[in-house]
Structure 1
């Protein structure tokens, strides 16, 4: 009977296995790299939706006056929680370089995206040494969501990230992952006092840049500390870090951080939708919940499990008590579940189990990617998309650049809510803010004035009085807007017209 040479059979057996292993590691890395390239191209286009106008307006005010910028949206001398350390840096860049605020936002987006990708890589390295784990984790954070598209700042779905990549929330998320990596190492090692104080300063920075992400960062850090069960010297250093962070929050001069705890009911109403369609929006995260159960069976003090529990408890408490703004802590439940799904794929014991996890996770990621495939349109435009993909594309806002040849920085414009969310990005003010403002005492009065002005039954004399009261120089409204003292200047998209107020 013929037998192969001794060194031939082992080579034939191991080469396909080694090649398959290399391909298995390379596939998520290549996919993650392609997604990062897509996001970089999105930064170039910078699609406009949501709060982009608020952040652009914030940079506008800081670029004109770094120390006393006033309200970013209306002509009033009030503080604003949008004046964060990161916005201060971007405002200084705009002031020194003379770049437009939208170019500065693009530069900020590049920094934030870099911090996010490197932060995920560093933190996942504390959970797994497998080379494919960081790439799988990034893909899970972006695609392991649900079959119904969900977009909100502070949430890491691909579509959310594409629309919010220049927001302070993305920078805060990037810093948060780095923060968790440092905290994990600090509680495991005999870290010096200086490192802990640095962590206290970073914690305060995250909270100042985006308060909701700061809550998520705090819950994650708490879970990591509980999981490590540190000795007394570490707890003393931790207490010092917390004390320093609180002092820095108290000293921040641009707004009173602690007054945000008494924010009004407007925030609750805005965040109530976070508690709807949970299965449709986040159903794929159940795979991560199963991975957390397996991790819990192996280790009752697993940090991802503790993190998930803290996030679920806070989210549930918000829904039960009517504090719907607490729903912004939902990433504290989603992130650990998404990371657990990725890590379990490379950490499960037998090869067959790992292969099974990889197949299930891959299928879930494909479903999530298809849900968010319309994001491609932010790079290519709708016209370049196949019809089935174009159906999932959501058109960004057009913007109000068409009024800028006439309306100048500091002019007051009378406009309804949606225009008021965009017009201040170019330098003007509006009569009422387009977003809830907890520091503006007469916000309700301003909103009522706008409603009265555009109401059909309002007398012309009352409209003229409103324009005088708020020193309005321009009105953006529908064509044929009635009223004395208005001169049509130009027309824009959606049958909107810019009127000059003539006195």
Structure 2
């Protein structure tokens, strides 16, 4: 079995106790990691809007108004949604009971997810190394060891990506995942009880329900840790019982059919194809961790991080070779173990000149990664306060559509809008005609998208446009041209016009 060295053994192996160089080596990563956490706390206060934030805000809105029958988050339809997770249910309950606004609740969600992530990384890394600096350096590697080309996607832990997704269920699920791995590792190394295995099974199911792609990563990592521990048959029986409990939880979840997601991959392939582009630019620095994994594998052919990486790399490669590009969401299963391995190899440097050289190379790689993502500072402080070279890396968040609510739009009103505003408008309570995101549980999604395209087409006639508005019960229109049946109500950012539909 794999056991982590104690702090005394690790420190004794790496440097003379009390040495100034040793203290700097331990304290520098901790200070840097603390600064990153402070930066993220400042980001939570501002909560920059980009990507899927509108979808998650809309889901909380629906639960806030009906815990039992939230309906589709984006359009006025009574359909299930894979976003109806236990975490969203809890956030919606908090919003309903406290009266807090959805965006305040999402900030609380961000604080919770960030806290789970930081503590989860610490707990799991402690199962791999007893070095005091290991958790902090591992955290820095997870957020900075990426590539010279900026990359943002939910479920990926790059610093800039984390800043934009910190309130998403993916960050909450990743935090739970690190705790799951830590608990599983300690369980298979010690006395394996029925209670622990059942708890692990339930936690595994919650992760899958909250963010399905992160659940796949959690599963691959868990499999690697079990195989690395070489458990006895009785242990496998207990773990198998926990697995069955997890499957039961997935089957009993009332808000959507988890197992129906397996037939939905075809609708997601085009969206995920970019995951297979610019790999060297986005993830090139992770090759340092791949080398570290090779060293670990040479020392131990059942190293859990090496096995974890192999599973993740195989799934990612299989997705690219077969055209199942949604499998690319399993890439963190290859990135995370490589990033952790790079950090662990560095903290074991000690007096070994070769390994000290490794630590210097890792430091340089982290500096490159930090510079690539320096624009993240703009999400915490005003852009004008940044040096020019840093401000150039900053990407302005979306402005939002709260202005339409001030103009008279109400919760539950249907708004005709193109795709980009449709990704934000439901966050405030209204519905749109077509969803701004792929929705494979909505049977008429294609028909709705075609209706929006026809309405805004210059070739559409008066009767056709009015017929579309009546069919979907539209009360408001954002954008498009003037018409006798539309009353100009407000003008928003960028000259966008809100029209009220005149009966």
Identify the residue that residue 213 of structure 1 maps to in structure 2. Answer: 214
Structure 1 residues 16 and 62: CA distance shift in structure 2, 3 A: closer
2: distance between equivalents of 1:277 and 1:30? 32
- Residue in 2 aligned with 1:9? none
d(CA) in 1 for partners of 2:136 and 2:88?
30
Q: Distance in 2 between matches of 1:185 and 1:163?
A: 32
Partner of 2:25: 24
Q: Deviations over 1:219-252 (max 9, x none)?
A: 0000001111110111000110110000000000
Indicate conservation of the 8 Å contact 2:50/2:397, yes or no: yes
- 2:268 alignment partner, SS class: helix
Secondary structure of residue in 1 paired with 2:478: strand
Give runs of ≥4 in structure 1 deviating > 4 Å.
Answer: 14-17
Stretches of structure 2 that go unaligned for 5 or more consecutive residues are 1-14
Deviation at 1:348, TM superposition (A): 4.1
Q: Name the counterpart of 2:315.
A: 314
1:163-196: CA deviation from partner (whole Å, max 9, x where unpaired): 0000000000000000000111111112210110
Q: Which residue of 1 aligns with 2:336?
A: 335
Mapped contact 1:264–1:438 kept (Cα < 8 A): no
Matched, 1:238 2:239: yes
1:223 matched residue in structure 2: 224
Contact 2:350 2:356 in 1 (8 A): no
Q: Tell me, which stretches of 5 or more residues in structure 1 are unaligned?
A: 1-13
Deviation at 1:357, TM superposition (A): 1.6
Paired residue secondary structure (1:71): coil
Contact 1:463/1:483 (<8 A) preserved: no
User: d(CA) in 1 for partners of 2:348 and 2:73?
Assistant: 49
CA contact (8 A) 2:478 2:499 kept: yes
1:146, CA displacement in angstroms?
A: 0.1
Name 1:125's counterpart in structure 2: 126
Correspondence 1:449 to 2:422: no
- Match for residue 3 of structure 1? none
From 465, 469, 472, the counterpart of 2:471: 469
Which residue does 2:279 correspond to in 1? 278
2:381 is aligned with 1:380: yes
**Alignment partners' CA distance in 1, 2:20 and 2:114:** 32
Which digits, 9 at most, give the CA deviation of each residue in 1:47-106, with x for residues without a partner?
000000000000000000000010000000000000100000000000000000000000
Indicate conservation of the 8 Å contact 2:349/2:356, yes or no: no
* CA–CA separation in structure 1 for the residues paired with 2:16 and 2:208: 51
Equivalent residue for 1:41?
42
Q: CA deviation at 1:20?
A: 1.3
CA contact (8 A) 2:265 2:326 kept: no
* 1:38 positional shift: 0.3
Q: How does 1:353-372 map to 2 (within 5 A)?
A: 353-372=354-373
1:492 maps to which residue?
A: 492
Q: Partner of 2:499: helix, strand, or coil? A: strand
SS at match of 1:499: strand
Partner Cα separation in structure 1 for residue 40 and residue 16 of structure 2: 36
1:202: which partner in 2? 203
* Cα deviation, residue 358, structure 1: 1.5
Show CA shifts across 1:380-411 (max 9, x none): 12211111011100110000011012100000
> 2:137, 2:192 → 1: CA distance?
30
1:421-460 matches, cutoff 5 A: 421-460=423-462
Partners of 1:123 and 1:394 lie apart in 2 by 33
Whole-angstrom CA distance in 2 between matches of 1:394 and 1:20: 39
TM-score, structure 2 as length reference: 0.96
CA change 1:48–1:357 in 2 (3 A) is: same
CA drift at 1:15:
9.1
Secondary structure of the structure 1 residue equivalent to 2:451: helix
Contact 1:149 1:371 in 2 (8 A): yes
CA–CA distance in structure 1, aligned partners of residues 411 and 184 of structure 2: 44
Aligned mates of 1:496, 1:60 — CA distance in 2: 24
User: Rg bigger for which structure?
Assistant: 1
Contact kept, 8 Å, 1:460 with 1:484, in 2: the verdict is no
Residue matched to 2:141: 140
Is residue 187 of structure 2 the alignment partner of residue 186 of structure 1? yes
What CA distance in whole angstroms lies between the structure 2 residues aligned with 1:330 and 1:461? 49
Give distance in 2, aligned partners of 1:265 and 1:468. 32
Distance 1:234 1:101 in 2: 44
Report how far residue 353 of structure 1 moved: 2.7
Number of aligned residues: 488
Query: Which stretch has the larger CA shift, 185-194 or 279-288?
Result: 185-194
CA distance in 1 between partners of 2:85 and 2:355 (Å): 44
Structure 1 residues 85 and 76 mapped into 2: Cα distance closer, same or farther (>3 Å)? same
Give, in whole Å, the separation in 2 of the partners of 1:394 and 1:408. Answer: 31
- Structure-1 separation of matches of 2:24 and 2:380: 29
Deviation at 1:482, TM superposition (A): 3.3
Shift of 1:17: 7.3
